[in-house]
Amino acid sequence: MPPPCRTIIDAQKTDNVEMRRTQPAEDCTVRPGSSAEHTDSTESLDDHRPISRRDALKAAGLAGAAALSTGAVSVCAHAAAADPMQNLVAAARAEGQLAVMGLPRDWCGYGAIIDGFKARYGLTVKELRPSASSADQIEAIKAGRAKADYQIPDVIEVGVSFASSAKQEGLLLPYKVSKWETIPGGAKDAQAHWYGGYYGAIAFEINADLVAKIPQDWSDLAAPEYRNSVGLAGNVSSNQAIQSILAAGLSGTKGNADEAAAQGLKFFADLNEKGNFVPVIGDSNSLVQSRTPILIRWDYLALADRDRLGGTARIEVVRPRTGFTAGLYVQAISAGAQHPNAARLWMEYLYSDEVQLAWLKGQCYPIRIADLVRNGSVPIDWRGRLQHPDIHDPDKIFPTLEDQERARDVITNGWDEIVGVRVRCLPDKGYDGPVS
């Protein structure tokens, strides 16, 4: 006779709060790829207590035959004794799919990472709007609360200040991955609503075939020889652009974070007045085609371009001497996730040694880099590729959360008035590499 069975009731609750959908920002192709169809109904969660990996797996991960979001699930008692990861995999497979947003396939090696997840666990991955910015992803979660068929992601990847505000608005579902203790304390929310995945430093990507004198610091960019040369690799509301402007301000204030955002705006206003700033969203095409031969962007994207474009253009990557800052991209589960167990499984996957090393191979700094170096997991031939002596100590290079939130508000609200020029999309002339 088979062992007795018990019933586990899904603890999710429908959130009927109506939220006004904000008008989306200009739809620029600033992250490559195309949207995917997503029309499943959406539920939001109003229980935002932190949930550990084991508790989540025991409470929600035992569904082998039906998705938990639809009601009660009958499971056999002996399943409780199974390995928690096996339970989570079974629950995720019952849901059948995962919806991600804002993940370009050539950004930090995400193409191989997504394909590896699909192959290993047999789930469909809906790649919604790979070009979505941090702000776009947050707005998608909000819109999903008011419109059941809206394309809402199960998981998001955003700048840390965006994640902090999303937590305050009740948009994120807490969950502690099994590698929780190896994530630096300054790179995670104490209640596990979000935690850092990888980070990069702001750098100058320079087409050395077009720029004779290579700039070494922010102040160099104001020189007359760089007229019509300097661009940002993102619109002003993107995390990448905000961090770029903040870094320029840190250089001008000698590291004074309280004044850095305002000083950064003044710096770009001066560049614009001199005619050095090019008000378009730069990318690999604009770099090669001389529209923005000096591009300010994440170093991992610049390094990827250098490797990829070696036979087409001579690319120099320079980390400025002053105003050095690193920006963290964090992972989180949407409170309206329709596939919450697939989302938890995705998080476990991202923080595995395998995927952390895949990010490293993609020129990004995985958040668990210090732990990977300590346990000898990082291949010797990779250790010198990231070229910065302090990069393994995130606490020394990240602006504080408060500094980032203040900078975001100052920059997004003050750009139009102080700099006085709108950063626009370039006409689409085909895709030629990773962009913001």
Q: CA torsion angle for 272, 275, 281, 285 (degrees, to 10)?
A: -160
* Cβ partners under 8 Å of residue 2, min gap 6: 76
pLDDT at 153: 96
pLDDT at 390: 52
For the chain, state the CA radius of gyration. Answer: 22
Average pLDDT over residues 364-377: 88
Give the chain's end-to-end CA distance (angstroms, integer): 59
Share of the chain above pLDDT 70, in %: 75
Average pLDDT over residues 66-90: 58
pLDDT at 369: 87
Output the DSSP codes for 45-79: --------HHHHHHHHS--SSS-GGGSEEEEEGGG
- Residue pLDDT, tens place only, 4-51: 333 222 333 333 333 333 333 444 533 433 333 333 333 333 344 444
* 45 C-beta neighbours (distance < 10 Å), count: 22
- Residue pLDDT, tens place only, 109-153: 999 999 999 999 999 999 999 988 898 999 999 998 877 667 899
Alpha carbons 177 and 219: distance in angstroms, whole number: 43
Burial class (CB in 10 A: 0-12, 13-18, 19+), 116: middle
**Which helix (H) or strand (E) element contains residue 246?**
helix 239-252
pLDDT-based confidence at 258, cuts 50/70/90? confident
Q: Do 11 and 47 form a contact (C-beta atoms < 8 A)? A: yes
Output the DSSP codes for 387-418: --TTTT-HHHHSPPHHHHHHHHHHHHHHHHHH
The DSSP code for 434 is -
pLDDT at 143: 92
- Residue pLDDT, tens place only, 316-338: 999 998 887 888 899 999 999 99
pLDDT at 403: 85
Please tell me whether the overall predicted TM-score, pTM, comes out greater than 0.85 for this model.
no
pLDDT at 47: 41
pLDDT-based confidence at 275, cuts 50/70/90? very high
Alpha carbon of 366 to those of 137, 268, 310, 317: distances in Å? 22, 31, 25, 20
**Residue with the larger pLDDT of the pair 435 and 261:** 261
pLDDT at 234: 85
Top mean pLDDT of 15-24, 44-53, 70-79, 220-229 is at 220-229
pLDDT at 53: 46
pLDDT at 37: 34
State the average pLDDT for the chain. 80
Alpha carbons 84 and 54: distance in angstroms, whole number: 7
Please state whether 109 falls in left (phi above 0), alpha (psi between -120 and 50) or beta. left
pLDDT at 363: 84
